[in-house]
Amino acid sequence: MSSGNRSEAVDVQKSYEVRTYGCQMNVHDSERLSGLLEGAGYVRAPEGSDGDADVVVFNTCAVRENADNKLYGNLGRLAPMKTKRPGMQIAVGGCLAQKDRDTIVERAPWVDVVFGTHNIGKLPVLLERARIQEEAQIEIAESLEAFPSTLPTRRESAYAAWVSISVGCNNTCTFCIVPALRGKEKDRRTGDILAEIEALVAEGVSEITLLGQNVNAYGSDIGDREAFSKLLRACGRIEGLERVRFTSPHPRDFTDDVIAAMAETPNVMPQLHMPMQSGSDRVLKAMRRSYRQERFLGIIEKVRAAMPDAAISTDIIVGFPGETEEDFDQTMHAVREARFANAFTFQYSKRPGTPAADMDGQIPKEVVQERYMRLSALQEQISWDENKKQVGRTLDVMVAEGEGRKDGATHRLSGRAPDNRLVHFTKPGQDVRPGDVVTVEVTYAAPHHLLAEGTPLAVRTTRAGDAWEKRTTAAAAKPAGVMLGLPTIGAPAPLPAAAAPACGIG
């Protein structure tokens, strides 16, 4: 930051940047890290600062084979910048920090702070301690110190928000390291969840996504198998809350009461993202997934019977150790039967520290790649066919911010339908804001989006749009160098997002 004749309040401010890798849990944790730093007096660095901040925080993911190489490569690029800028600090948190601990400082001794998934609230204190003591601070809690939703949050959106209902996971999937790094499932009190949602709605949020590593297992702490369906119904009674989503459920816990709650609660959206991972019963057993193909497809059948227009998406791993061509054919069969609106397909890669990494029968990369291409081509055609069924439908689209990269060139806007499909539509004759709702007729379908090329049928301004406008106006009015404060509203890029399954949620 430049020096000069500035007031003491501005002089003590430092800038920060948070870089996020992995799943929605990490995205939401990064919102909390931003809130903590702003509460401690830091101001967010401008977009594209690329390490040109006083504090750079890496919120890491540990589930990819090359996750550590990616981290150390990025840390290496910051080393010369730090040498030139005395006082600059670098912190590493998240799943890789929880896993590698002392290794990070050994390999990158210019890192100032290493913290884990259970103690993100300590970041400002650790940064200050590192500055005073002039040595790296490593603090990894072995269990959750406090439910993270009690921490301040700088939410990224004014109209949609993540709301965590649980942390951790009790499953033992052989490809996933998350339970070892996030710990056993811990549920949040229902009253606290609803209080947070009500506060968000009061600030203008109109869409929330309930978030958990295994979201529909909610209630396991208290032994109430219907706690999640009860929570969905309670969300339906919150006035002003227009859209409720959740991610990611596990088929094991997807009971009939959850389907009924989805179908009977008007503001619970007709959308389901449920990881299948494989269509082969033999592979599912090796993965320690507690369901089989018939059970999974049975759930989808029940969901569609209750909500015929529901859009269903999934995660699939190709090339799990020991997967035969017959196993892969079963996955292809399940995909044809399920007719997913979207599927996030991944080539299996070793996740260090997981049982699958040491299994016999690791599949050659060229075989995995060939299967992946076949599956991707099949799902691409199914996605396109399913989207074509939307042509001619009238949809209420919630206007989104940043969803349409070509909106400026095409003079369109973009948003999400109730089933979460991405819709690009012609700009109406009046101004609309993110969070407002536009009624359109679909005229064209592509595999991954819909087009509404005619004049919108209606525009409904909303409190969410008001909140977006208020926040944007307030940010623009702030003079340079003065902290923006702590927005308390907004949140996720709606599902499906490319990051969705990256840390094994579900």
Give Cα separations from 45 to 14, 48, 80, 185 (angstroms).
9, 8, 19, 34
CB 45 within 8 A of CB 52: yes
The pairing of beta strand 160-164 with beta strand 207-211: parallel
| 503 is known to lie in a ligand binding site | no
23 labelled as ligand-binding?
Answer: yes
Under a CB-based contact definition with an 8 Å cutoff, are residues 432 and 459 in contact?
Answer: yes
Q: Of the candidates 250, 117, 100, 247, which has an alpha carbon nearest to the alpha carbon of residue 173? A: 250
Name every residue whose Cβ is closer than 8 Å to that of residue 417 and which is 6 or more positions away in sequence: 395, 396, 397, 423, 450
| Burial tier of 213 (Cβ tally within 10 Å: 0-12, 13-18, 19+) | buried
Nearest-10 Cα torsion for 31, 221, 231, 396: 40
**What span, in angstroms and rounded, lies between the C-alpha atoms of 14 and 7?**
14
Q: Which residues pair with 15 in a beta bridge?
A: 43
Reported as type and span, the H/E element at residue 344 is strand 342-347
Is the dihedral angle over the CA atoms 238, 241, 243, 249 positive or is it negative? negative
**CA 66 from centre of chain:** 21
Q: CA triplet 255, 258, 262: central angle to 5 degrees?
A: 145
- Chain centroid offset of residue 202 CA: 23
Identity of the residue numbered 119:
N
176 annotated among ligand-binding-site residues = yes
Task: Look at the block and give the residue holding tokens 């406090």.
Answer: 146
Report whether 235 belongs to an annotated binding site: no
Max intra-chain CA distance, the chain: 73
Q: How far apart are CA 118 and CA 95, in angstroms?
A: 10
Residue 413: strand, helix, or coil: strand
Nearest Cα residue to 376 out of 436, 445, 448, 452: 448
Q: Name, in order, each residue with C-beta under 8 angstroms of 480's C-beta and a sequence gap of 6 or more.
A: none
Binding residues: 23, 61, 95, 169, 173, 176
Binding residues for [4Fe-4S] cluster: 23, 61, 95, 169, 173, 176
